[in-house]
Chains A and B, each alone.
Chain A
Amino acid sequence: MKIHRAEEIWLIIGIAIIVISMAITGYQAFALGMAPPSGMEHIDPQKVDDTAPFNNPGVFQTGENEYEVVMTLQIFSFTPNKIEIPAGSEVTFTMTSKDVVHGFQVAGTNINAMVVPGYVQTITQKFDELGEYLVLCNEYCGAGHQLMATTIIVK
């Protein structure tokens, strides 16, 4: 099998794209802690209301400029429904679904996670800019999917 010289160069570029992609993605994931949300903790999806911490959803201060939002997702709403946090705080969302698969996305940020029944999903984000952020479900969850939204107010 004979490969043209130009094609060799072209394919080396192809391999380089893969290798550089791997290096950047790996560095960001493991050195900078930017790995995609991968909650491994389990929960009984039929007993969410009786299982801590989801028996008491809400916004909790966990440190200076640190907050945890314990959130349940269900058709077609987020609980808690209104979230207010001060600017400059780092917020960890701890979430689970009470019914079908939902998505948790905050427009204008990199927050994007699948919330699958049976698993506790977490994602952390620092909110520096003031304003109102749109939170929406981005996984089709039923007839009222387009209504499933809330806001985060950073003030």
Chain B
Amino acid sequence: MATITKETVPSQSTVKEKIHGMLGVNRQDAKLSLVLISIAFIAFLLGGILGLVQGLNRAGLFELPSWLNYYQVLTGHGVLLVLVFSTTFTIGYFYAAFSHTLGGLLPKVRKMGWAGLGLMVIGVVFVATTIIMGDASVMYTFYPPMQASPWFYVGLVFLVLGIWLYAFGAFINVAHWRKNHRGEHLPLLAYFGVGVFVLLFIGSFGVTAEVLYIIPWAFGWIDTINVMLTRTLFWSFGHTLVNIWYLAAVSSWYVAIPKLIGGKVFNDSLARLVVILSVVLNITGGFHHQIIDPGINEGIKFMHVFMSLSIGFPSMMTAFAMFATFERTGRKKGAKGLLGWVKVLPWGDVRFLAPMIAMISFIPAGAGGIAQTNNQLDQVVHNTMWIVGHFHLTLGVSVVVSFCGIVYWLVPHLSKRVLTPKMNKLGVIQTLIWTLGMIFMAGSMHIVGLAGSPRRTSYTTYGDNATALGWDPYLFFLAIGGTLLIIGCVLMFYIVFHLMFKAPKGETAFPIAEQEEGAHATPYWTERWTVWIILMLAIVAMAYVIPLVDMIFNAPPGSPPFRTW
């Protein structure tokens, strides 16, 4: 009897997969992803409104009411967009991808998904309450010795635990698939998902250690804190998080876009190599946020130029792969000449237009990133508005517009509806308004930052200082950009929920591009995740062991807490 059951298990699962393939999306899995995506876009709208309030204040056009503080608004904007929006969307997207490419989520994993959501909601409630009460105006970077209410940090712990549950769920689901598909390659999109969850899990070790160290200090159980240690632990996570969303965006460029434009995956092996490199080289990149910090010597800072720049390498591979895909697809459609293929691309299709704009914006954004990673150049722009401009290009365009591009097919796929030509047109308008807004906003931020205007500062002329007054015209353009962005933000909110609840019923495919015929087989070593994780840990150790040991064992006297707002 026992042997019979054993033999029937795999065949049962293949039958299930076939049924699943015929019926389309798994309803229960879709619900989880749709709830996550809904939370993401509610956070997107709220965060966007706070962004507008801030931008108008910064330009001197809008005075905040006495019960609202600029820095409170800025903390809310950062937490909602950086922590809530991007994380919930990324998880919702990859759980849908696992469900689709691995033949459905395991019931156990689905339960873990709901539990993870519960933990994250508890965390957000704690964090949001303390911010609204004015007890946590510390920015999403919460640098000690500034000290928020202890419950703010407790909330962060719940958020991290929620993320970990999702990571474990992902690993369990992938392990199960691999057990039943020995010798096969994990589907490319799920492969990206593994990279993302490995980074989410291991990348959050540093910040978890930091928060667990802050909590006893925040409750007053220990008197002082090691400031440099907390900063360094924070940034081991801070920059990784940014690259996680970027990797999520990139996954849709590699897997969905070729399918949507009628092409094929450019090179499966190289796509997987991009994931491996992005995972292995990622965590150490955070150090470049500390280039002008004391307590880290010049030699270590120099080593970190390499650690940070190396992450540009997989991005170069991606840039090549994308444009090669577009050219091949265009030529297949009969395009002639050097650039004829550009014309035959489906520019009117928002599912292509949005990610295409995201990719194009990554050209200046990535170049700016490479420039400012070099120590001396970073010193010119560190903590100025230039940096804010930089991450509004990378995250506000490359990531956000890619995520919006995903919405147009993922949400109708999950809600069993279709994208109508009318909605497509609205999407094109939304994309263009958003892009124009960001050109104004991020553009003026870059210029005014180069002139010296600092980030994270409410409207000020520093006592009518001539230099500071010279920044005002740029800040005005920033406000114009912000106003366009809120229009784009509200439109996107409408589009997401229209596609979820109002669009005509129907079937929308999950676009997964196939390999070229006769493509070279992908080498199986790409599946050796243990090797990549060990390699990643080795590089993290190279980067962090010496400075961290120095910061811990050779620390100056600690700092007591301050509440300065």
Chain B residues near A44: list those with CB within 8 A: 556-557
Q: How far is the CA of A123 from the CA of B370 in the complex (A)?
A: 24
What total of chain A residues lie within 8 Å of the partner, measured CB to CB? 71
Q: Answer whether residue B462 sits at the interface, using C-beta atoms and an 8 A cutoff.
A: yes
- Residue contact A116 to B465, C-beta cutoff 8 Å: no
Tell me if B383 and A34 are in contact (CB < 8 A).
Answer: no
Output the least CB separation between B138 and chain A (Å). 8
A149 at the interface (CB under 8 A from B): yes
Please, how many angstroms separate the alpha-carbon atoms of A140 and B138 in the complex? 8
Judge if B357 is at the interface, Cβ distance under 8 Å: no
Task: Contact check, B557 vs A1: say whether CB atoms are below 8 A apart.
Answer: no
Name B309's contact: one of A22, A43, A136, A137 (CB within 8 Å): A22
B460 at the interface (CB under 8 A from A): yes
By a CB distance below 8 angstroms, the chain A residues around B317 are 7, 11, 14
Would A112 and B382 be within 8 Å (CB), given that A11-B313, A29-B302 are in contact? Answer: yes
Of the stretches A53-61, A85-93, A96-104, the one at the interface is A96-104
Q: Report yes or no: B564 in contact with A136, Cβ–Cβ below 8 A.
A: no
**B69 touching A119 by the CB < 8 A rule?**
no
Q: Is the CB of B273 within 8 A of A105?
A: no
> How far apart are B6's CB and chain A's nearest CB, in angstroms?
37
Q: Type the 1/0 row for A5-37, where 1 means its CB is closer than 8 Å to any CB of B.
A: 011001101110110011011101110001111
Check if A80 is an interface residue, CB within 8 A of chain B: no
Question: Does B295 lie within 8 Å of A40, measured CB to CB?
Answer: yes
The residue that B376 contacts in the complex, of A29, A120, A140, A151, with Cβ under 8 A, is A29
- A11: chain B residues at CB < 8 Å are 313, 316-317, 320
Min C-beta distance of B109 to chain A, whole Å? 32
Q: Which of B500-532 contact A (CB under 8 A)?
A: 520, 522-523
Query: A36 with B375: in contact, given A100-B564, A113-B292, A149-B463 (CB under 8 Å)?
Result: yes
Which residues of B are found within 8 Å of A115, using beta-carbon distances?
A: 294
Q: Return the CB mask of B292-325 against A: 1 if under 8 Å, else 0.
A: 1111111001100110011011001100100010
- Chain-A contact segment, one of B15-23, B205-213, B334-342, B450-458: B450-458
Inter-chain contact B227/A38, CB cutoff 8 Å:
no
Task: Report the bound CA distance from A103 to B293 in whole Å.
Answer: 10
Is B71 an interface position by the 8 A CB rule? yes
Instruction: Give A38 to B374 CA distance when docked, in angstroms.
Output: 15
Known: A7-B320, A118-B557. A29 touches B294 (CB 8 A): no
For the complex formed, measure the closest distance between the CB of A142 and the CB atoms of chain B, giving whole angstroms: 3
Q: Considering the complex, which residues of chain B in the window 507-565 have a beta carbon less than 8 Å from any beta carbon of chain A?
A: 520, 522-523, 555-560, 562, 564-565
Residues in chain A near residue B329, CB distance under 8 A: none
Q: Which residues of A contact B295 (CB under 8 A)?
A: 38-40, 116, 118-119
The residue that B312 contacts in the complex, of A17, A75, A99, with Cβ under 8 A, is A17
Instruction: List, sorted by A's number, 27 A–B pairs whose CB atoms are closer than 8 Å.
Output: A6-B324, A7-B320, A10-B316, A15-B313, A29-B302, A35-B302, A36-B301, A38-B298, A38-B301, A40-B294, A99-B562, A101-B145, A110-B379, A112-B380, A116-B227, A116-B295, A118-B228, A119-B295, A120-B294, A132-B465, A136-B457, A142-B71, A142-B146, A142-B564, A144-B564, A146-B459, A149-B463
> A25-B374, A149-B462 known; 8 other A-B pairs, CB under 8 Å?
A17-B370, A36-B292, A37-B294, A100-B562, A138-B382, A138-B383, A139-B383, A142-B564
Q: Give the 8 A-B CB pairs with smallest separation, nearest first.
A: A142-B564, A107-B452, A118-B556, A42-B556, A119-B294, A146-B460, A138-B454, A14-B316
